[in-house]
Amino acid sequence: MSSSIRPPVPESTPRDRALFRVNPMSYLVVGILVLAILWPVAAYPVALGWLVLVPLGFGWWVARTRTRVDDEGVHLSTWRSSRSVPWDDVKGVMFPKSGFARLVTTGEDSLPMGGVSFHDLPRLSEASRGRIRDPYQA
């Protein structure tokens, strides 16, 4: 009896290895924010109606923040803009103590890489085809 045994694929790893997004569980925070402001907004709609914009804004941020890596370069999208950086302009990646990774360009700009954290480094190295190296790879 022979059966093919495949290692499990982590649920957090998307099928598109070159796309990095904010964790979709963040939408749960949007739901919690809606529930948290429901009573105050219902009680004082004129004074507190603007609070509805808080979960909407956070949901917009989660939906728009992403990083895509391909053969042409790194494509960064934030809640307000999108930018593409060709590989010739990429100097490296910096991982601050908190927040997402930052792409360092040859012009010494530091751009946020939405959805990319330190634990994504092996996947980032694979998606960039070695242009961004994983220092822990054996």
Distances (CA, A) of 3 to 6, 51, 130: 10, 56, 34
Q: Give the other-Cβ count within 10 Å of 86's Cβ.
A: 10
Name the pLDDT band for 35 (thresholds 50, 70, 90). very high
**Which residue bears the tokens 């045994």?**
5
Average pLDDT over residues 23-39: 93
Asked if the model's pLDDT at residue 9 lies above 70, the reply is no
pLDDT digits (tens, 9 = 90+) for 49-96: 999 999 999 999 999 999 999 889 999 998 888 999 999 999 999 999
Asked if the model's pLDDT at residue 113 lies above 70, the reply is yes
Distances (CA, A) of 1 to 4, 5, 8, 9: 10, 12, 21, 24
Check: pTM over 0.85? Answer yes or no.
Answer: no
Question: In this structure, which amino acid lies at residue 8?
Answer: P
Q: How far apart are CA 117 and CA 94, in angstroms?
A: 10
Poorest-pLDDT segment among 3-7, 45-49, 74-78: 3-7
- How is 79-103 classified by DSSP, letter by letter? SS-EEEEEGGGEEEEE--SSSSEEE
Distances (CA, A) of 42 to 31, 48, 50, 52: 16, 9, 12, 11
For the chain, give me the number of helices (H) and strands (E)?
4, 7
